[in-house]
Amino acid sequence: MPRPRLSFVLLAALAAGAAGGPRAAWAQKTTTSQASLPAMPAAAELGTRPKSAANASQAPDSVALRRHLTQATALQGQFKDSEALAQYQATLKIQPQHYESLWRAAVLSVIIGNRYSDETRKKAYFEAAHQYAERALAMQAEGGESNYAMALALFSEAGLTSARDRLRLFKELRPHVYLAAERRPDLPEAWQLLGRWYYRVAHYNVLEKTFSRIFLGGYPQGATSKKAIDALEKAHQLDPARIQYYYDLARMYKYQGRRRQAVALLQEAIRLPTYTSEELTMNRLCQQMLLPLLRAKARRDRQHAKWYKQLRPGTGAAGPQTTR
């Protein structure tokens, strides 16, 4: 009997979920004190989710609700994400179908979860984010914010799953990240996520493409490195003070061989002020990426200077000399 081909063996391994997916490259471990796990929604909150905003019971605004929202906004401005999340959770106890609190709680859950190195804690936060995003989508199925929250939750969960589930999640989040950028073109976070998704899907390897065709009905189409860079440039344009966008865009430039642009961007990035431990971490990552690029640039400049010297009139050299 003919020996089975290696590709089918690998596909079988993927189908069985044997291969573990790499962790998300953007989940950074910080030196800040670890926040407590988010309070999971109460049973009353997680009851039958409304089918649409039209039949959702709308609780009247109250002084307490407005106070929680005001405090949450102020705490986010002070980079106190855990305290802000607690305020949104308090708002949802008063009005479980409060759209803004739902999608913002989802986003904050991902941000806080990414600070942990422990996968169990990460997973708890990401699952909570997914639940909040689902409830926000039930309120506004085509809302830019709700779709961004769901896309972010799915993208984050993909970093903790097997190869099989990761490919499934990347396909599942496609409509959400598209709607987020379409409905909220002023939201830089949506463009950043779209750029990351474009680049990841554009660089599927042969095995990932084959698995997606056989077991997932195909892989997402239309993703290219150029679209990834365009989306990240849009995010950077909308918020030029966010160091994360500098880092992501510089990395794309580096991968595409646009090293001069990467160097210029990183030199700007390391001069940005840092207010949080995440920003300090990103600053260090920018410096780590910049140093080898500068060394390579210096080597090229020295080599070019040597060539130009040999090519000057009167030197008797017809071109660069190669020594053995």
Query: pLDDT truncated to tens, each residue of the chain (324 aa)?
Result: 444 444 444 444 445 544 444 333 443 333 333 333 444 444 334 433 444 444 444 445 688 999 999 999 999 999 999 999 999 999 999 999 999 999 999 999 999 999 999 999 999 999 999 999 999 999 999 999 999 999 999 999 999 999 999 999 999 999 999 999 999 999 999 999 999 999 999 999 999 999 999 999 998 988 999 999 999 999 999 999 999 999 999 999 999 999 999 999 999 999 999 998 899 999 999 999 999 999 988 888 788 787 877 787 655 445 454 444
Which residues are CB-neighbours of 48 under 8 A, at least 6 positions away? Answer: none
Residue type (1 letter), 110 = V
Give the per-residue pLDDT at 314: 56
Name residue 20's beta-bridge partners.
162
Cα 77 to Cα 106: distance, rounded to the nearest angstrom: 17
Give the per-residue pLDDT at 178: 97
Give the per-residue pLDDT at 223: 94
pTM for this predicted structure: 0.77
Residue type (1 letter), 273 = P
- For 53, the 3-state DSSP assignment is coil
What are residue 20's phi and psi, to 5 degrees?
Answer: -90, 140
DSSP run (H or E) holding 304: helix 277-311
Give the per-residue pLDDT at 199: 95
Give the per-residue pLDDT at 260: 94
Which residues are CB-neighbours of 91 under 8 A, at least 6 positions away? Answer: 65, 68, 69, 72, 98, 101
- For 173, the 3-state DSSP assignment is coil
Cβ(126)–Cβ(113) below 8 Å: yes
Give the per-residue pLDDT at 227: 97
Dig out the tokens for 72 from the structure. Answer: 């949450």
For the chain, the structural domain boundaries read 240-297
Dig out the tokens for 322 from the structure. Answer: 């190669």
Give the per-residue pLDDT at 299: 86
Residue closest to 163 by CA, chosen among 221, 214, 225, 207: 207
